[in-house]
């Protein structure tokens, strides 16, 4: 399936931008009459036929539309403090999108070593991962937000904080509910501060453990994302 991301999709006909046109005609060597597929990032999957294989303005005719393509019956939200090395955070975004994350928020914490992000680059990585894994939905990516502000606006009964203190003993499966949203907070390399953990508890956010191993930030975030996916599959089979 040759998949292109087209958030500005229009009915009946569509023209790929120059970058996508070059990829379509030069790299994939597609020609007039060939079939391609378009995704708008919000569940729309469009079948299209190449009308003019122009290397700068490849023109397509849309012949079919499918809604809610690849829609998951649950939402997974990972709120993570970005690492000092952005390569590691880019890796997390790519893999989380491939698994099927719904939303990613970047936290600015007391122990954070990175206080700036290039969200545009992370969005490009997410788009590439969405196309590669043939997903119909592009996850929401939120720029850096102070920890306390995030805690204030979080859905407290469905938000959980993973940290290294001794009272984080219950795994996320203890709180998991089928077809419900879940948000897991992951701290920076130095973990959440004592004050941050206290603030989360006071807001009604409960602690969880991701296992006995001490994980890197990006590894913990991906484990949290994959755990939610696996739990949903298990509980769906039992439902």
Predicted TM-score (pTM) of the model is 0.93
pLDDT tens per residue, range 123-180: 999 999 999 999 999 999 999 999 999 999 999 899 999 999 989 899 999 999 888 8
Which is more confidently placed, 115 or 95?
95
Instruction: Examine residue 71 and state whether it is found in any structural domain, yes or no.
Output: no
Helix (H, G, I), strand (E, B) or coil at 104: strand
Q: Are residues 132 and 29 in the same domain?
A: no
Mean pLDDT of 93-111: 97
Query: What is the pLDDT, as a whole number, of residue 150?
Result: 97
Alpha carbon 35 to chain centroid, angstroms: 28
Q: Are 41 and 7 in contact (CB under 8 A)?
A: yes
Same domain, residue pair 92 and 31: no
Residue 200 has pLDDT above 90, yes or no: yes
Q: What are the backbone dihedrals phi and psi of residue 101, each rounded to the nearest 5 degrees, phi first?
A: -80, 150
pLDDT at 239: 64
For position 51, what pLDDT does the model report? Answer: 96
Closest CA to 181 of 79, 73, 69, 95: 73
Total domains, the chain? 2
pLDDT digits (tens, 9 = 90+) for 13-71: 999 999 999 999 999 999 999 999 999 999 999 999 999 999 999 999 999 999 999 88
- End position of a domain, from candidates 28, 45, 66: 66
User: What distance in Å separates the CA atoms of residue 192 and residue 82, rounded to the nearest whole number?
Assistant: 13
Asked whether the predicted pLDDT for residue 221 surpasses 90, the reply is yes
Here the contacts of 117-120 (C-beta below 8 Å, separation 24 or greater) are 117/82, 117/86, 117/143, 117/144, 118/86, 119/143
What CATH number is associated with residue 51?
A: 2.40.240.20
Q: What is the pLDDT of residue 85?
A: 94
**Helix H or strand E encompassing 84:** none
pLDDT at 23: 92
Are 209 and 144 part of one and the same domain? Answer: yes
Does residue 227 carry a pLDDT above 80? Answer: yes
CB-based contact 212:174 (threshold 8 Å) = no
What's residue 237's pLDDT?
76
Give the dihedral sign, CA 94/124/115/88: positive
CATH number of the CATH domain containing 168: 3.40.1280.10
Same domain, 110 and 33: no
81 neighbors 35 (Cβ within 8 angstroms): no
- DSSP helix/strand/coil, 158: helix
Same domain, 9 and 127: no
Asked whether residue 176 is assigned to any structural domain, the reply reads yes
Instruction: Classify 9 as helix, strand or coil.
Output: coil
User: What sections of the chain are H helices per DSSP?
Assistant: 18-22, 86-99, 119-132, 147-153, 194-202, 217-238
Q: How far apart are the first and last CA of the chain?
A: 32
What residue numbers bound the domain in which 163 lies? Answer: 76-238
């Amino acid at each position: 399936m040759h998949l292109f991301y087209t958030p500005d999709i229009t009915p009946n006909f569509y023209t790929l931008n120059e970058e996508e046109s070059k990829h379509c005609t030069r790299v994939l060597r597609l020609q007039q009459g060939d079939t391609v597929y378009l995704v708008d990032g919000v569940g729309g999957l469009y079948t299209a036929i190449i009308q003019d294989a122009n290397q700068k303005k490849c023109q397509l005719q849309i012949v079919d539309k499918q809604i809610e393509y690849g829609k998951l019956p649950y939402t997974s939200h990972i709120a993570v403090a970005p690492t000092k090395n952005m390569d590691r955070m880019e890796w997390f975004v790519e893999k989380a999108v491939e698994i099927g994350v719904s939303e990613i928020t970047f936290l600015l914490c007391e122990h954070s070593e990175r206080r700036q992000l290039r969200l545009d680059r992370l969005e490009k990585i997410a788009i590439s991962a969405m196309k590669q894994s043939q997903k119909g939905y592009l996850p929401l990516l939120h720029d850096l937000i102070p920890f306390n502000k995030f805690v204030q606006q979080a859905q407290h009964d469905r938000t959980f904080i993973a940290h290294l203190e001794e009272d984080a003993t219950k795994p996320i499966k203890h709180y998991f509910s089928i077809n419900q949203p879940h948000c897991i907070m992951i701290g920076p390399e130095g973990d959440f501060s004592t004050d941050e953990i206290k603030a989360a508890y006071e807001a009604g956010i409960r602690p969880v453990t991701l296992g006995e191993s001490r994980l890197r930030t990006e590894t913990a975030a991906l484990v949290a994302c994959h755990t939610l996916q696996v739990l949903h599959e298990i509980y769906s089979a039992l439902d």
